[in-house]
């Protein structure tokens, strides 16, 4: 017996069901499912995706038995409808649509009104009593078929329609009458014969096979291939083909068509929500030419537009029953399409409805409370990335907009303000109380105060993990990075996009969630966390095993993160504090001193300031662990970049400019990423780490002694490549800590651990764990070194890599499991081998990215650490990872 290739549905009986998406595609499986549960669905049949696979594997041949199975299915459908395909008296028309395992909206082809020819048109006229409707359907079919199946450029047929209107002196298609359209049908067919050398097929069966073959082939059209690549959909899946009886909402006033959501997709409120039009086709509702009417009275806002509830109360009641049945059946909010043909209601589609983040949460929480789903399902249902929307301002979706350029969506949220080009200006204008957008070619640590004073940041260079992106995410500010379209001219104080010039003081709006840049002000909507959000996050924490900490460098960020549920600080970068105005001078003095005593003098000035930072952070994190990383970036990062600034510095330091210039030049590095940084600084200049240790431990001691706080400091040594580095530094740190603790006369437990951010550290983790009490994987740097890829430079060619399918995703955004992940696993396993109770976390940008969080859970890490605004995302991703096990 031949394999089953064709699955019928109709009249309450279907050969498939919702679980058969792999065979029937999403659309086909849902049509079958709806049929089975008694929903009125226009009958038809689905050709399986396997048929498509066979088609590709056998040079566009169909499998054996297919034509018989199609014929049988056709017969069954004809019997259900009591009409026949190609019957001039009472013909059936079909739609032929693609339907892959997952939705690929608009990527593949569709043919509607299939079965029309010069004979069957008569039957349609008879059925509909509407000649104009019939000829309009016919000419649409010819155009669509000519384009999709016969491969004719759509423009070449559309022009005949234009000519017909011209000839008649009208502007709208609707102004053409049945006769005009009939004439057009003839002209279209002639033109097709001219263009292809063959007549338009009159035989409905030939039409059907042509359409099936065209849909199969559209699986491999260029836009479908690109879409699959972008969405990680395997090429070998293939698409199913759905052949379904056409029903028409535009045959007269007893016809209608509409779309509806079983709950409000924007707020999640539990009421039936939708729109419809009388005597219309599906696309008319969406196209916005006629104003759609509300589906029910609850949704009414305008009294002049009667609702379906009012105009067709019986059909409305049927629809309500159906939506309730569907929502209960699918246990999720549904997005429905329906058509009323001559007083009969048909459901054309149901699927889980798209919704805003806010609605997602509300619907999930409500459904648990309604007993429709359990907490576990609620938690699994929310895409962690969606939470971002809840935590940041967003553009008013209804506001008009004028897109200027597009960069990377580097930090979510939306903001508008005056354009400025320097951090100092940002601060000045912010102080005047005006919102500011800082525009830079790229940012550096020197710009932090300006970023802080801005509503949003726009950079021309840099990727998703560039300085601007990382810092902005940490601050919860919106950022569009790597916007290659803009050309910044600092000197003339403008930027250019094509020919558009945006000057200092002009207003722009950024959408950091999409990477778009707009001219002028677009209103934004502030986020408001609802009670449902709190309830939902409580459930999340019930399932979660991985801890979530935050990366925070200030008391303010620490408090924000704690409010978002952070269970400690996983990464406190001491260097960000160095840039603050009151201390950068002392830091520069320290760096430019050419001897130990000079450095020690400058460090003595920095000590009390560093200590005060830690007092604030420790207080905010009272009772929770705080991991503090000792100085990491190369010293030259703290120096001025231009001669002018350097001259000012020389003057204020009372040192000749030439000396400073020479010392700065000596600090220059070819590859600063691989240079004199991290613990290498601690080895060369032990006095720097000594000062920082002193500041950390004195702050902790003081709070324990004077305020009886519970301080849990974890001192972290960065960029260790060899255990000996850690051993040498650890001894020095312990000496200072123990001496200080005993001076305060208190007891205080502290830990000393290390970043694992170099391949060599992961490879020799067993040795390193002999000295380290904890590991924190710095997967930003680990990704850079494992790939030999600078995240600041990768932007230039990352696109080539994504386009050619080499990287499925930017490895700086989602952890590369095969390479970097293998090193993380090696590090964990070797580390725990040497020290079974080793605490292991991750503090790279990956710590807040759901797929990476799932990896961390599987790899057995104790915690992830991420920027404050990503803490809820990481919590949810961690819970889902636990539930998926």
| 669 belongs to the binding site for a second copy (CB under 8 A) | yes
From the list 38-46, 102-110, 583-591, 663-671, the region that binds a second copy by CB under 8 A is 663-671
Q: What residues between 798 and 837 interact with a second copy by CB under 8 A?
A: 800-801, 804-807, 816, 818-820, 822-823
Of residues 371, 654, 788, 836, which one binds a second copy by CB under 8 A?
A: 788
Both tokens of 382, joined, read 């929310």
Residue 526: C-alpha distances to residues 388, 402, 409, 529, 563 (Å): 13, 21, 19, 10, 18
Residue 93: C-alpha distances to residues 117, 120, 247 (Å): 10, 9, 8
Q: How many whole angstroms separate alpha carbon 643 and alpha carbon 391?
A: 42
| 757 belongs to the binding site for a second copy (CB under 8 A) | yes
479 is catalytic: no
Q: How many whole angstroms separate alpha carbon 96 and alpha carbon 748?
A: 73
Q: What are phi and psi of 153, to 5 degrees?
A: -55, 125
Of residues 719, 772, 859, 878, which one binds a second copy by CB under 8 A?
A: 719
From the list 343-351, 394-402, 541-549, 781-789, the region that binds a second copy by CB under 8 A is 781-789
CA 847 from chain center: how many Å?
16
Burial label for 252, CB within 10 Å (0-12, 13-18, 19+), is middle
Q: What residues between 758 and 777 interact with a second copy by CB under 8 A?
A: 758-760, 763-764, 767
- H, E, C per residue of 160-186: HHHHHHHHHCCCCHHHCCHHHHHHHHH
Segments of 224-333 assigned E as strands: 239-245, 256-261, 273-278, 293-294
Q: Minimum Å distance from CB 691 to a second copy?
A: 18
| 725 belongs to the binding site for a second copy (CB under 8 A) | yes
Q: Minimum Å distance from CB 680 to a second copy?
A: 5
371 vs 788, which CB is nearer to a second copy?
788
- DSSP for 351-417 reads EEPP--HHHHHHHHHHHHHTTSS-HHHHHHHS-GGGHHHHHS-EE-TTS---EEEE-EEEE-SEEEE
| 676 belongs to the binding site for a second copy (CB under 8 A) | yes
Q: Minimum Å distance from CB 586 to a second copy?
A: 23
Q: Minimum Å distance from CB 775 to a second copy?
A: 16
225 vs 683, which CB is nearer to a second copy?
683
150 vs 813, which CB is nearer to a second copy?
813
Q: How many whole angstroms separate alpha carbon 3 and alpha carbon 684?
A: 73
462 vs 565, which CB is nearer to a second copy?
462
Q: Minimum Å distance from CB 570 to a second copy?
A: 21
Sign for the pseudo-dihedral over CA of 835, 839, 845, 847: positive
644 vs 804, which CB is nearer to a second copy?
804
Q: Minimum Å distance from CB 672 to a second copy?
A: 7
From the list 148-156, 665-673, 707-715, 861-869, the region that binds a second copy by CB under 8 A is 665-673
Contact 127, 246 (CB under 8 A): no
Q: Minimum Å distance from CB 30 to a second copy?
A: 35
Of residues 589, 698, 781, 810, which one binds a second copy by CB under 8 A?
A: 781
| 680 belongs to the binding site for a second copy (CB under 8 A) | yes
Query: Which SS3 state, helix, strand or coil, does residue 91 take?
Result: strand
- DSSP for 202-232 reads --HHHHHHHHHHHHHHHTTSHHHHHHHHHTT
366 vs 447, which CB is nearer to a second copy?
447
Contact 304, 292 (CB under 8 A): no
Contact 716, 754 (CB under 8 A): yes
Of residues 675, 746, 773, 814, which one binds a second copy by CB under 8 A?
A: 675
Angle between helices 643-653 and 581-592 (to 10 degrees): 90
Q: Which residue of the set 483, 843, 856, 866 is catalytic?
A: 843
Q: What residues between 278 and 317 interact with a second copy by CB under 8 A?
A: none
Buried b (16+ CB within 10 A) or exposed e, 432-470: eeebbbbbbebbebbbbbbbbbbbbbbbbbbbbbbbbbb
774 vs 807, which CB is nearer to a second copy?
807
- What contacts 585, CB < 8 A, 6 or more positions away? 649, 652, 653
| 672 belongs to the binding site for a second copy (CB under 8 A) | yes
Q: Minimum Å distance from CB 792 to a second copy?
A: 4
497 vs 585, which CB is nearer to a second copy?
497
CA 287 from chain center: how many Å?
27
607 vs 728, which CB is nearer to a second copy?
728
358 vs 461, which CB is nearer to a second copy?
461
Residue 304: C-alpha distances to residues 233, 292, 624 (Å): 46, 11, 60
Q: Minimum Å distance from CB 729 to a second copy?
A: 10
From the list 139-147, 301-309, 614-622, 715-723, the region that binds a second copy by CB under 8 A is 715-723
Q: Minimum Å distance from CB 784 to a second copy?
A: 6
User: How many other CB atoms are found less than 10 A from the CB of residue 706?
Assistant: 9
157 vs 723, which CB is nearer to a second copy?
723
Q: What residues between 442 and 481 interact with a second copy by CB under 8 A?
A: none
Q: Which residue of the set 5, 392, 467, 857 is catalytic?
A: 467
| 728 belongs to the binding site for a second copy (CB under 8 A) | yes
467 is catalytic: yes
Question: 774: part of which helix (H) or strand (E)?
Answer: strand 774-777
Of residues 53, 653, 674, 813, which one binds a second copy by CB under 8 A?
A: 674
Of residues 8, 120, 776, 785, which one binds a second copy by CB under 8 A?
A: 785
Q: Minimum Å distance from CB 70 to a second copy?
A: 39
Q: What residues between 483 and 502 interact with a second copy by CB under 8 A?
A: none
Burial label for 269, CB within 10 Å (0-12, 13-18, 19+), is middle
Judged by CB under 8 A, the number of residues near a second copy is 49
Of residues 56, 209, 744, 787, which one binds a second copy by CB under 8 A?
A: 787
Of residues 167, 223, 328, 796, which one binds a second copy by CB under 8 A?
A: 796
Q: Minimum Å distance from CB 632 to a second copy?
A: 12
Q: How many whole angstroms separate alpha carbon 460 and alpha carbon 795?
A: 11
Contact 439, 451 (CB under 8 A): no
Residues with active-site annotation: 467, 843
Residues that bind a second copy (CB under 8 A): 669-676, 680, 683-684, 719, 721-722, 724-725, 728, 757-760, 763-764, 767, 781, 784-790, 792-794, 796-797, 800-801, 804-807, 816, 818-820, 822-823
């Amino acid at each position: 017996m031949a394999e089953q290739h064709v699955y019928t549905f109709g009249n309450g009986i279907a050969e498939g069901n919702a679980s058969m998406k792999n065979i029937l595609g999403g659309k086909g499986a849902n049509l079958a499912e709806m049929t089975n549960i008694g929903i009125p669905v226009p009958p038809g049949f689905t050709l399986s995706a396997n048929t498509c696979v066979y088609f590709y594997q056998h040079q566009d041949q169909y499998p054996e038995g297919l034509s018989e199975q199609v014929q049988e299915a056709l017969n069954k459908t004809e019997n259900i409808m009591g009409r026949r395909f190609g019957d001039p008296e009472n013909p059936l028309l079909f739609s032929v649509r693609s339907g892959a395992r997952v939705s690929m909206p608009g990527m593949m082809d569709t043919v509607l009104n299939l079965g029309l020819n010069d004979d069957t048109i008569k039957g349609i006229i008879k059925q509909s009593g509407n000649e104009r409707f019939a000829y309009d359907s016919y000419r649409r079919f010819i155009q669509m078929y000519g384009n999709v199946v016969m491969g004719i450029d759509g423009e070449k047929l559309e022009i005949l329609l234009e000519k017909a209107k011209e000839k008649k002196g009208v502007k709208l298609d609707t102004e053409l009458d049945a006769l005009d359209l009939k004439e057009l049908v003839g002209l279209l067919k002639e033109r097709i014969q001219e263009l292809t050398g063959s007549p338009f097929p009159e035989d409905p069966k030939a039409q059907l096979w042509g359409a099936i073959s065209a849909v199969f082939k559209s699986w491999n059209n260029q836009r479908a291939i690109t879409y699959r690549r972008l969405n990680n959909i395997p090429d070998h899946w293939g698409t199913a083909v759905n052949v379904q009886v056409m029903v028409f909402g535009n045959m007269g006033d007893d016809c209608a068509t509409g779309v509806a959501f079983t709950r409000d997709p924007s707020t999640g409120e539990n009421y039936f929500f939708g729109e419809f039009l009388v005597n219309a086709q599906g696309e008319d509702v969406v196209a916005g030419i006629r104003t759609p009417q509300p589906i029910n009275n609850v949704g009414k806002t305008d009294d002049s537009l009667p609702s379906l509830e009012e105009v067709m109360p019986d059909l409305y009641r049927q629809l309500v029953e159906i939506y309730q049945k569907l929502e209960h059946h699918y246990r999720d909010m549904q997005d429905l399409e329906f058509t009323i043909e001559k007083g009969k209601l048909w459901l054309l589609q149901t699927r889980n409805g798209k919704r805003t983040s806010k609605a997602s949460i509300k619907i999930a929480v409500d459904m648990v409370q309604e007993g429709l789903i359990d907490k576990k399902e609620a938690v699994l249902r929310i895409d962690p990335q969606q939470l971002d929307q809840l935590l940041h301002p967003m553009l008013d979706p209804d506001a008009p907009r004028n897109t200027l350029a597009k960069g990377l969506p580097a930090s979510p949220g939306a903001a508008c303000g005056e354009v400025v080009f320097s951090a100092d200006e940002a601060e000045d204008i912010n102080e005047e109380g005006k919102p500011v957008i800082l525009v830079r070619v790229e940012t550096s640590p020197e710009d932090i105060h300006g970023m802080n004073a801005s509503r949003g940041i726009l950079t021309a260079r840099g990727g998703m993990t560039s300085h601007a992106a990382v810092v902005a995410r940490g601050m919860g500010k919106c950022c569009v990075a790597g916007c290659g379209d803009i050309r910044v001219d600092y000197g003339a104080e403008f930027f250019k996009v094509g020919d558009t010039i945006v000057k200092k003081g002009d207003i722009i709006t950024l959408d950091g969630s999409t990477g778009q840049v707009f001219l002028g002000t677009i209103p934004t909507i502030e986020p408001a966390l609802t009670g449902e959000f709190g309830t939902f996050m409580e459930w999340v924490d019930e399932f979660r095993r991985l801890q979530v900490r935050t990366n925070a460098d200030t008391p303010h960020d620490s408090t924000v993160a704690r409010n978002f549920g952070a269970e400690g600080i996983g990464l406190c970068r001491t260097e960000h504090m160095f840039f603050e105005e009151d201390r950068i001078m002392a830091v520069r003095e320290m760096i430019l001193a050419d001897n130990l005593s000079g450095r020690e003098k400058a460090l003595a000035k920095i000590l009390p300031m560093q200590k005060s930072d830690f007092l604030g952070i420790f207080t905010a994190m009272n009772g929770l662990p705080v991991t503090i990383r000792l100085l990491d970036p190369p010293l030259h990062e703290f120096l001025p970049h231009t001669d002018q600034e350097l001259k000012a510095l020389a003057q204020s330091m009372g040192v000749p400019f030439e000396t400073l210039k020479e010392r700065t030049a000596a600090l220059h590095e070819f590859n600063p990423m691989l240079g004199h940084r991290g613990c290498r600084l601690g080895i060369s200049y032990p006095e720097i780490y000594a000062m920082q240790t002193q500041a950390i431990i004195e702050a902790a001691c003081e709070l324990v002694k004077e305020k009886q706080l519970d301080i849990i400091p974890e001192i972290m040594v960065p960029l260790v490549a060899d255990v000996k580095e850690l051993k040498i530094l650890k001894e020095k740190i312990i000496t200072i800590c123990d001496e200080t603790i005993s001076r305060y006369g208190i007891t205080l437990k502290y830990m000393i651990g290390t970043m694992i951010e170099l391949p060599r550290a992961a490879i020799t983790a067993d040795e390193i764990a002999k000295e380290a009490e904890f590991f924190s994987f710095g997967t930003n740097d680990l990704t850079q070194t494992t790939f030999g890829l600078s995240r600041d430079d990768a932007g230039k060619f990352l696109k080539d890599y994504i386009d050619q399918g080499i990287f499925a995703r930017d490895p700086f955004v989602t952890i590369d499991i095969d390479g970097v992940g293998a090193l993380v696993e090696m590090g964990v396993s070797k580390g725990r081998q040497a020290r079974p109770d080793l605490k292991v976390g991750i503090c790279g940008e990956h710590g807040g990215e759901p797929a990476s969080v799932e990896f961390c859970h599987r790899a057995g890490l104790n915690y992830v650490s991420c920027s404050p605004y990503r803490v809820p995302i990481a919590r949810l991703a961690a819970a889902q990872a636990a539930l998926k096990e």
